[in-house]
Structure 1
Amino acid sequence: MSARVAIVWNPSKAGREDLEKALVDAAGDSAVDAHWFETAEDDPGRSATRKALESGAGLVLAAGGDGTVRAVAEELAEAGASADLGIIPLGTGNLLARNLDVPLNDAAAAISRALEGEPRTIDLGWATIAAPDGEERHAFTVMAGFGIDAHMITETDDDLKDRAGWLAYVESLGRAVSASEVIGIELALDGGDAAQEQAHTLIVGNCGTLQGGITLLPDADPSDGELDLLVLSADGIAGWADTLRNLVWDNGLKRLISGGGAADQAESSESAAHRRVTTLTIELAEPRVFEVDGDDLGETTRIGIEIQPAALRIR
């Protein structure tokens, strides 16, 4: 364990005093040289992480929601930092924490895991989108995409999210489905020729599990050097029935019953196509909202996706 620990924390998610107490509880009799770096509303963690690295931290704890974790990971990866990453999950989704089995709702336990755990390397996804002022490049640790998932973010009531947590997303599901119409898209996988397809939702993921234990991308492994792609094209009752069967039975209960192992691959269906990629270019016939790890990046018609293998060391 490095003696110097930096805590990059979102003050809207927790008070410093509470986190300091959790750090003391986690460290026990061990001495921890803690340095604190607060995020800002217009900078969710990159500048704070940069300052943390300049302070000589060997471990950077991201204390906040998915946006804070993503910003810290983005800075660590771009800087090629030697510091390890730890997570104190304080948000609504806490998706990377869920996928890595970091303790939720217990800051002291999460800090203890980071202080004592052995680091492992994980990949990081990058999305480059066409924006009004030029291209923007953003990292994602878990998932990115357009369609139902992006519309759930824009349709979710913030006050309800504060009260009900991730269950607020369920309340917005109906509106998100209604807003997700099938459009024409062009996909070019791993440098290949572009292919014409129809879809209402596209999700590319480094991890596969959502809130409530729902596994959307059953093959996703954040350390395998690949991203998992899911394209949904259901249109009408029969199409949605096929999608539900594919997600719930083909790639859910059936795999569980059969004890499917690492050699198994996600099954596709008429309305749900599963693939694996390292790079991906997406051209949309109409503008759609694009999201990365739950952050709305606005509407775009062109997205480039790539993976940075072993980009982070995480405890």
Structure 2
Amino acid sequence: MRGLLVVNPKATTTSARTRDVLAGALRSEMELTLGFTRRRGHGFDLARDAAAGGVDVVVALGGDGTVNEVVNGLMAAQQGAATPALAVVPGGSTNVFVRALGLPRHAVDATSVILKALRRGTSRRVSLGLADDRYFTFCAGLGLDAAVVRRVERARRKGRRSTPGLYLRSTLGQYFVEGRREPGITLEEPGAEAVSGLANLIIQNTAPWTYLGDREIHASPRASFDRGLDVLALQALHLPSTLHTVTQMLAHQPDDPDERGDMTGKKITVRHDLAEFVVRCATPQAFQLDGDYLGEREKVKFTAVPGALRVIC
């Protein structure tokens, strides 16, 4: 078995010594090559080239941004050949995708699970979301959600660490400074009446939406890797309704997605298990995928891609 370990050397929670230990452990099960990301988007190139070269497993060591790049590289190279399986070792600050898969938060523990799965030959198929021509593993957002990600990325470029506190301060700053402008987002579904006047959209491919430390944050609690895309749209960002929504997001949800309930409120629009839809914005809105800010968009087409990826877990 041939494998590639894609390493983000700037990963938040992984040291060089830990990387060496993990690489040594993985070499017990495969012929392993290491690839270090040197710039944004490099993970895409490494995964695409590895897939085209017939590698069997690509292991991503890094945060959700690194995973997103690797996934897109794998999907770009799938034409005419079997797509390599993906394995993920957490190395970022939040690691939503890893935790949504049920893998341990710590790199050594997650590697142990991956090694056992490789020995047993077990894996699972998960769906992906597709936003225009880019795949995402767990979430996308337009509006306030994405503007917060933009603020966090700016702070990190200035040397700030990615912590729950930084996200909380960024959220409060964005909401009270810019977040309550006149809404202008429209959700269009095939065969349904368009919903306009929306202020913020959160699109999920699985649940939870994100984490605040150890606490799960749910926007669409019933979202699942085994279904289509879920949407939570806020029709206004008035303080009382926003606080009501945030309170629901922080509430505990049952472990079984089928036992979970949707967000409720007069200013909330919920959609579950969508195959495709289009989002249009009256003015360019901040846009993020898997926690990476991708600029502003006026239109995005979203599509669910069932069983797109084989994951070792």
Alignment partner of 1:163: what SS? coil
**How far apart in 1 are the matches of 2:260 and 2:217?**
18
* Count, aligned residues: 294
**How far apart in 2 are the matches of 1:261 and 1:270?**
23
For the 8 Å contact 2:46–2:73, the answer to whether it is kept is no
Instruction: State the shift of 1:286 in Å.
Output: 1.4
**How far apart in 1 are the matches of 2:256 and 2:44?**
40
Instruction: State the shift of 1:201 in Å.
Output: 1.0
**How far apart in 1 are the matches of 2:18 and 2:259?**
44
Q: Which residue of 1 aligns with 2:221?
A: 218
| CA shift in 2, pair 1:163/1:298, >3 Å | closer
Q: Which residue of 1 aligns with 2:138?
A: 142
Moved more, 153-162 or 227-236: 153-162
Instruction: State the shift of 1:291 in Å.
Output: 0.5
**How far apart in 1 are the matches of 2:22 and 2:42?**
22
Alignment partner of 1:186: what SS? strand
Matches within 5 A, 1:243-258: 243-248=245-250, 252-253=251-252, 256=254
Instruction: State the shift of 1:196 in Å.
Output: 4.0
Alignment partner of 2:286: what SS? strand
Q: Which residue of 2 aligns with 1:227?
A: 229
For the 8 Å contact 1:182–1:235, the answer to whether it is kept is no
Matches within 5 A, 1:14-25: 14=14, 18-25=18-25
Q: Which residue of 2 aligns with 1:124?
A: 128
Q: Which residue of 1 aligns with 2:83?
A: 82
Q: Which residue of 2 aligns with 1:68?
A: 66
Deviations 1:167-218 (A, max 9, x none): 32112111221322341222211x2355142222101110221113222221
| CA shift in 2, pair 1:59/1:166, >3 Å | farther
The one-letter amino acid of 2:123's match is P
The one-letter amino acid of 1:144's match is A
Deviations 1:259-310 (A, max 9, x none): 8761654243212221121111011111111110111111111111001110
For the 8 Å contact 1:37–1:51, the answer to whether it is kept is no
Alignment partner of 1:309: what SS? strand
Instruction: State the shift of 1:96 in Å.
Output: 0.3
Instruction: State the shift of 1:23 in Å.
Output: 3.1
For the 8 Å contact 1:152–1:169, the answer to whether it is kept is yes
Alignment partner of 2:4: what SS? strand
Q: Which residue of 1 aligns with 2:204?
A: 205
**How far apart in 2 are the matches of 1:297 and 1:194?**
28
For the 8 Å contact 1:10–1:44, the answer to whether it is kept is no
The one-letter amino acid of 2:291's match is G
For the 8 Å contact 1:289–1:298, the answer to whether it is kept is yes
Q: Are positions 1:286 and 2:288 aligned together?
A: no
Matches within 5 A, 1:6-45: 6-13=4-11, 14=14, 18-25=18-25, 30-45=28-43
Instruction: State the shift of 1:241 in Å.
Output: 4.0
Q: Is there any run of 5+ residues in structure 2 with no aligned partner, and where?
A: none
**How far apart in 2 are the matches of 1:96 and 1:167?**
21
The one-letter amino acid of 1:217's match is S
Instruction: State the shift of 1:99 in Å.
Output: 1.0
Moved more, 156-165 or 80-89: 156-165
The one-letter amino acid of 2:102's match is D
**How far apart in 2 are the matches of 1:286 and 1:307?**
25
Percent identity over the alignment is 27
Deviations 1:201-259 (A, max 9, x none): 101110221113222221011122x00100012343332244245435xxx34x55xx8
For the 8 Å contact 2:144–2:286, the answer to whether it is kept is no
Instruction: State the shift of 1:139 in Å.
Output: 1.2
**How far apart in 2 are the matches of 1:143 and 1:43?**
18
Alignment partner of 2:172: what SS? helix
Moved more, 90-99 or 233-242: 233-242
Instruction: State the shift of 1:161 in Å.
Output: 7.5
Matches within 5 A, 1:184-199: 184-189=184-189, 191-193=190-192, 195-199=194-198
TM-score using structure 2 length:
0.85
- The root-mean-square deviation of aligned C-alpha atoms, in Å, is 2.4
The one-letter amino acid of 2:51's match is L
Q: Which residue of 1 aligns with 2:48?
A: 50
TM-score using structure 1 length:
0.84
For the 8 Å contact 1:243–1:271, the answer to whether it is kept is no
Q: Which residue of 2 aligns with 1:275?
A: 271
Moved more, 80-89 or 238-247: 238-247
For the 8 Å contact 1:26–1:108, the answer to whether it is kept is no
**How far apart in 2 are the matches of 1:161 and 1:279?**
39
Instruction: State the shift of 1:45 in Å.
Output: 0.9
